[in-house]
Amino acid sequence: MSEVCGPADVTQSDRSVPDQSQAPEPAVSPDLRCPSAAQTMTEPISRNDLEMTNVIANPMVTSQPDPATNGSNQQGGSTVSFHNICYTVQLKRDLSCQGRCRRTEREILVDLNGIMKPGLNAILGPTGCGKSSFLDILAARKDPSGLSGEVLIDGAPQPPNFKCLSGYVVQDDVVMGALTVRQNLRFSAALRLPKSVPQREKEARVNHLITELGLAHVADSRVGTELNRGISGGEKKRTSIGMELIMDPAVLFLDEPTTGLDASTACTVLLLLKRMAEKGKTIILSIHQPRYSIYRLFDSLTLMVSGKMVYHGPAQSALVHFNKIGYQCDSNDNPADFFLDVINGNFTAVTSPPVNRREVLDFDAISRARQNIKEHLLTEYIKAEDFSTTKAELERIIKDKATVPRPKSRTVTYNSPFFHQLRWVVWRTLLNLMLQPQIWLAPLGVNIFLSLLVGAVFFGVKDDQSGLQNRTGALFFVTVHQCFSTVAAAELFIKERKLFIHEYISGYYRVSVYFLAKMLSDITLRSIVISVFSCIVYFMIGFKSTPENFSIFLLTLLLVSYTATALTVAVSADQNVVSVANILMSMCFVVMMLFSGLLVNLPSVIVGLSWVKYLSIPRYGFTALKINEFVGLIFCEDTVTHNGTTSSILANCTMSVRGLTCTGEQHLEYQGINYSDWGLWQNHVALMVMTILFQSVAYLKLRFIKKFS
């Protein structure tokens, strides 16, 4: 596939690019695999072992100096310390309480204290223990309400824009699937590096990361979508990591990076992280149940249960600690599995075996013992030497803490100006559309088919009573069709919700940039489709064949479509399920269709419901199209036969004969339509006002949508 390049930057650099050079890695035999559990349990992974497995993480690749660094030093890692971290959430009231119940709180994290130094720091625990919430708090990506305690970076309070300065790889990879690996990394470099960095340096960093991450063989392959298969899961995970490494963060957070990967691929990803940790990066990750070959890579280990820490210290000392407090790991057991067994109350991990079979089957005793194990682990950890060492170091950090006022709020900062962001986000959005033809070919094909069908049904309308009815029906159909065809726009901000939230919090772009880019791309595609539809329908049916009338017809349909799209995104912007948004929009358009002016004579509607017509998008479009088409038409020129009597009607007839409408103006007056120039253009003004209003509501919803977990 040919590569599509994005906009280029040509400004000068005021920021050095990190140096990630190292000596070439030694070659290894083809049968080399990740370290196995057969190796000694307490043996830490050596640097030689790590160097030997480098090729596994980066197949057929040797590390080369980054040409973008020009010899500058790579940014080192930071020390992250956390002090008295507590986090509670408000539970929703039970509807059965009928307002008498108070809102209750649930403790997610309880009094967490510790230090994460440069290296590979793992947070381990069973499902629901709070490790992901803990990781989000350390990364400043958690809702601050209900949070107490303090997180320090190198002894100073977290800067208010810390989430933009650090890297964060979410559990579910959020990259644009239709783009290639190189295009995704190029997009990240364009927005996360200062605009002053020359494009050649950004490109050099992208190429260097592709090599370092072992993605050279898939650099120009698409990541993959639901419809089109792309690169493998491990390659996609490494691409997500590369999106964060593009700005060389001092701290990199990863939320369960092995989710969805097989054992070998997960080991490859962790070996990559270990290599970065060896270079001085601070890497903090949550993980559920790693195999031993992954566990032995950890420098620091934090074990959690029910929001509390039962161990925090060197990973290789964890087994010694558990052995001292009465839990001994079998020589053939995986330490990570062993820790989870102990935490979950699995008695096979206890040094003292049950006395007899009856005791094993005493489930009440087992249940009571499981409750006691948690308290036992907490008590023993407080008595441990690692706890005392950590506590002393935390006290020293607090004592030497820089006198910097704690930020009152969190902010998002950007490395590039508004129009630079808009240019790149529009480029990516349009490129995403071009690379997925089904997105624009499907609506184009449907509209061409419907235009041919409608044109055939109403083909060559005449200037008689049948022509009056056919014109009215055709104009009503094309108006309502433009409304209902916008229901698909409901997924405009739902489908990419996770991607948008992650990129916004990380400082890629502003909310307004994303909103404008999505709307501009949608309007562009919609305008092309409507133009094709209008050209076919208008001339097949035989409406007024003047450039002025056709231009008004096309403008009206475009405004109806834009307004209906704006309403759709306004309703769906804060929804999470596309089907719910589709149901809401269908209900809205059905009600609007009822008050469009065809199904009911609007002047005859009762006063209590007559106001609804002012909210009807089809009414404004239908009215404008009728004025544009009917003014000046005469439907009584031919000889009319009624009840066996033939009467000749003059061409300038201005009255109804035997109940027949002779002129277009008469028909419009009967419908209560003002067909003056202002009567025509006031409909377009109303549609533009409604478009601005609905888009403002959609933007505000997107702006204030919950972006923290």
> Which three-class secondary structure string do you get for 182-210?
HHHHHHHHHHHCCCCCCHHHHHHHHHHHH
Q: How many CB atoms within 10 Å of residue 65?
A: 13
Average pLDDT, integer, range 141-158: 89
Q: Return the percentage of the chain with pLDDT > 90, whole number.
A: 56
> Looking at 11-15, 103-107, 414-418, 643-647, which range is the least confident one?
11-15
Q: Within a domain: residue 483?
A: yes
Longest CA span, the chain: 115
Please determine, for residue 550, whether its predicted confidence score (pLDDT) is greater than 70: yes
Q: What was the pLDDT predicted at 583?
A: 92
Report the distance separating Cα 98 and Cα 46, nearest Å.
62
Q: What was the pLDDT predicted at 404?
A: 59
Please determine, for residue 129, whether its predicted confidence score (pLDDT) is greater than 50: yes
Average pLDDT, integer, range 19-26: 38
Task: Identify whether residues 388 and 470 lie together within a single domain.
Answer: no
Q: Within a domain: residue 222?
A: no
DSSP 3-state of 121: strand
Average pLDDT, integer, range 170-178: 90
Within 8 A by CB and 6+ apart from 569, the residues are: 489, 490, 492, 493, 519, 694, 695, 698
Average pLDDT, integer, range 632-661: 54
> Looking at 128-142, 282-296, 359-373, 656-670, which range is the least confident one?
359-373
DSSP 3-state of 295: helix
Which residues form the domain of 653? Answer: 418-692
pLDDT band at 595 (very low <50, low <70, confident <90, very high): very high
Average pLDDT, integer, range 376-394: 91
Q: Within a domain: residue 85?
A: yes
Rounded alpha-carbon distances, angstroms, from residue 327 to 64, 122, 345, 624, 665 = 46, 21, 11, 81, 93
**HEC string of 343-387?**
HCCCHHHECCCCCCHHHHCCHHHHHHHHHHHHHHHHHHHHHCHHH
Q: What was the pLDDT predicted at 368?
A: 63
Task: Identify whether residues 508 and 438 lie together within a single domain.
Answer: yes
Domain end among 369, 391, 414: 414
Average pLDDT, integer, range 108-115: 94
Name residue 151's beta-bridge partners.
Answer: 82
Both structure tokens of 499: 């991607």
**Closest listed residue to residue 342, CA positions, set 353, 332, 329, 354:** 329
pLDDT band at 204 (very low <50, low <70, confident <90, very high): very high
Segment 471-488, tens digit of pLDDT:
999 999 999 999 999 998
Q: What was the pLDDT predicted at 408?
A: 58
Q: Within a domain: residue 30?
A: no
Q: What was the pLDDT predicted at 670?
A: 85
Name residue 88's beta-bridge partners.
Answer: 107
Task: Identify whether residues 404 and 439 lie together within a single domain.
Answer: no
**Closest listed residue to residue 234, CA positions, set 207, 215, 212:** 215
Please determine, for residue 657, whether its predicted confidence score (pLDDT) is greater than 60: no
Average pLDDT, integer, range 29-34: 39
pLDDT band at 400 (very low <50, low <70, confident <90, very high): confident
Task: Identify whether residues 400 and 428 lie together within a single domain.
Answer: no
Report the distance separating Cα 10 and Cα 203, nearest Å.
12
| 639-642 CB contacts, 8 Å cutoff, 24+ apart | none
Rounded alpha-carbon distances, angstroms, from residue 87 to 79, 162, 312, 672 = 22, 19, 19, 63
Q: What was the pLDDT predicted at 615?
A: 93
Q: What was the pLDDT predicted at 599?
A: 87
Within 8 A by CB and 6+ apart from 435, the residues are: 178, 179, 222
Task: Identify whether residues 404 and 436 lie together within a single domain.
Answer: no
Asked if 274 contacts 119 with a C-beta cutoff of 8 angstroms, the reply is no
Both structure tokens of 153: 């970076």
pLDDT band at 172 (very low <50, low <70, confident <90, very high): confident
Please determine, for residue 197, whether its predicted confidence score (pLDDT) is greater than 80: yes
pLDDT band at 93 (very low <50, low <70, confident <90, very high): low
Q: Within a domain: residue 140?
A: yes
Task: Identify whether residues 483 and 573 lie together within a single domain.
Answer: yes
**HSE of 143 in the Cβ direction (CA atoms, 13 Å)?**
11
Task: Identify whether residues 492 and 608 lie together within a single domain.
Answer: yes
Q: What was the pLDDT predicted at 173?
A: 85
Task: Identify whether residues 337 and 426 lie together within a single domain.
Answer: no
Q: What was the pLDDT predicted at 483?
A: 94
Report the distance separating Cα 159 and Cα 249, nearest Å.
14
Task: Identify whether residues 458 and 370 lie together within a single domain.
Answer: no
Please determine, for residue 267, whether its predicted confidence score (pLDDT) is greater than 50: yes
Name residue 305's beta-bridge partners.
Answer: 308
* Amino acid in the structure at residue 331: S
Task: Identify whether residues 317 and 461 lie together within a single domain.
Answer: no
DSSP string for 231-275: S-HHHHHHHHHHHHHTT--SEEEEESTTTT--HHHHHHHHHHHHH
Both structure tokens of 694: 């609905």
Q: What was the pLDDT predicted at 646?
A: 41
Within 8 A by CB and 6+ apart from 58, the residues are: 211, 212, 213, 214, 272
DSSP 3-state of 305: strand
Average pLDDT, integer, range 523-545: 94
**Closest listed residue to residue 182, CA positions, set 243, 227, 273, 245:** 243
Both structure tokens of 619: 């009414």
**Closest listed residue to residue 625, CA positions, set 519, 481, 449:** 481
pTM: 0.83
| 260-267 CB contacts, 8 Å cutoff, 24+ apart | 260/233, 261/233, 261/234, 261/237, 262/233, 263/291, 264/33, 264/34, 265/232, 265/233, 265/234, 265/237, 266/234, 266/290, 266/291, 266/294, 267/34, 267/56, 267/291, 267/293, 267/294
Please determine, for residue 103, whether its predicted confidence score (pLDDT) is greater than 70: no
Both structure tokens of 88: 């509670």
Average pLDDT, integer, range 153-160: 90
Domain end among 382, 414, 446: 414
Q: What was the pLDDT predicted at 199?
A: 92
**Closest listed residue to residue 20, CA positions, set 254, 239, 248:** 248
Q: Within a domain: residue 203?
A: no
Q: How many CB atoms within 10 Å of residue 24?
A: 9
**Closest listed residue to residue 236, CA positions, set 176, 292, 279, 189:** 176
Domain end among 414, 445, 467: 414
Q: Within a domain: residue 510?
A: yes
> Looking at 87-91, 248-252, 522-526, 546-550, which range is the least confident one?
87-91
Map tokens 């919609």 to a residue. 526
Q: Within a domain: residue 231?
A: no
**Mean pLDDT, the chain, as a whole number?**
83
Task: Identify whether residues 391 and 440 lie together within a single domain.
Answer: no
Task: Identify whether residues 424 and 407 lie together within a single domain.
Answer: no
CATH code (residue 257): 3.40.50.300
> Looking at 70-79, 184-193, 439-448, 530-539, which range is the least confident one?
70-79
**Closest listed residue to residue 479, CA positions, set 609, 368, 589:** 589
Q: What was the pLDDT predicted at 18?
A: 40
DSSP 3-state of 310: strand
Report the distance separating Cα 401 and Cα 380, nearest Å.
29
DSSP 3-state of 168: strand
Asked if 119 contacts 282 with a C-beta cutoff of 8 angstroms, the reply is yes
**Closest listed residue to residue 116, CA positions, set 163, 81, 155:** 81
Average pLDDT, integer, range 686-702: 96
H or E element at residue 314? strand 308-314
Give me the number of domains the chain comprises. Answer: 2
pLDDT band at 354 (very low <50, low <70, confident <90, very high): very low
**Closest listed residue to residue 454, CA positions, set 479, 489, 429:** 479
